[in-house]
Amino acid sequence: MATGRLIVLTGPSGVGKGTLLRSLLKRHPELYLSISVTTRSPRPGEVDGQQYYFTDRAAFEQMAANGELLEWAEFAGNYYGTPRQPVEHQIQRGNWVVLEIELEGARQIRQTFPKALRIFILPPSLFELEQRLRGRGQDSEEAILRRLGRAKAEIDAANEFDIQVINDDLNRAIAQIEAALFSTSRVPCGQGNS
């Protein structure tokens, strides 16, 4: 049976993780994307169970208390977390699971899945990151400044990850991620000592 693998994709808000992930999944449909649970309200066009599982704070806190989350963190006033059961099920079946999560969650994964391949996505520069955040048109000035402040701290943690990829060119960044994932020199990783 194939060995399952956990892949963690992390980086500051606005760095392009979602765009990279969508491209990667389109090119490699065999990868399983873990869907996070969150207490934030759905954005226009988001559907429960597709982008996120949307829930309230009380239900989320109960999931965390019951050990039903692999990792969780509070970000911008909302909780985000990874449901444990679907990820463990996919890995046990030999599938490769991708998590797109924040830094705090990635640090927790290092404890619960020490063999996970952890990839940090970097912006070409903080100026470029600011342009991307402003270009999205989703956040207030206060929120943009808060995200930029948090991004500086997150970027300082990039060396905690197995691989750092600068997202200055989509195709080049995808190629670097693919090389990390599919290189024959890498041993597939799963939970614990698999």
pLDDT of residue 184: 53
Amino acid at 28: H
| Among candidate residues 110, 136, 86, 87, the one with its CA nearest the CA of residue 10 | 110
pLDDT of residue 193: 34
Per-residue pLDDT of the chain (194 residues; tens, 9 = 90+): 568 999 999 999 889 998 999 999 999 999 999 999 999 999 889 999 998 999 999 999 999 999 999 999 887 789 999 999 999 999 999 999 999 998 999 999 998 899 999 999 999 999 999 888 888 877 788 888 988 999 999 999 999 999 999 999 999 999 999 999 987 544 444 433 33
b (16+ CB within 10 A) / e for 103-136: bbbbbbbbebbeebbbbbbbbeeeeebbebbeee
Tokens of 111: 């404890």
The burial class, CB within 10 Å (0-12 / 13-18 / 19+), for 184 is exposed
Out of 2.40.170.20, 3.40.50.300, 3.20.20.210, 3.30.1300.10, select the CATH number for domain 5-182. Answer: 3.40.50.300
pTM: 0.84
Please report, for residues 19, 33, 189, the alpha-carbon distance to residue 16 in angstroms, rounded to integers and kept in the order given: 5, 16, 25
| Among candidate residues 157, 161, 173, 163, the one with its CA nearest the CA of residue 124 | 173
pLDDT of residue 84: 94
pLDDT of residue 140: 84
**Helix (H/G/I), strand (E/B), else coil: 82:** strand
Q: Which residues contact 112 (CB under 8 A, 6 or more apart)?
A: 70, 71, 191
pLDDT of residue 187: 43
**What is the phi/psi pair of residue 193, to 5°?**
-105, 40
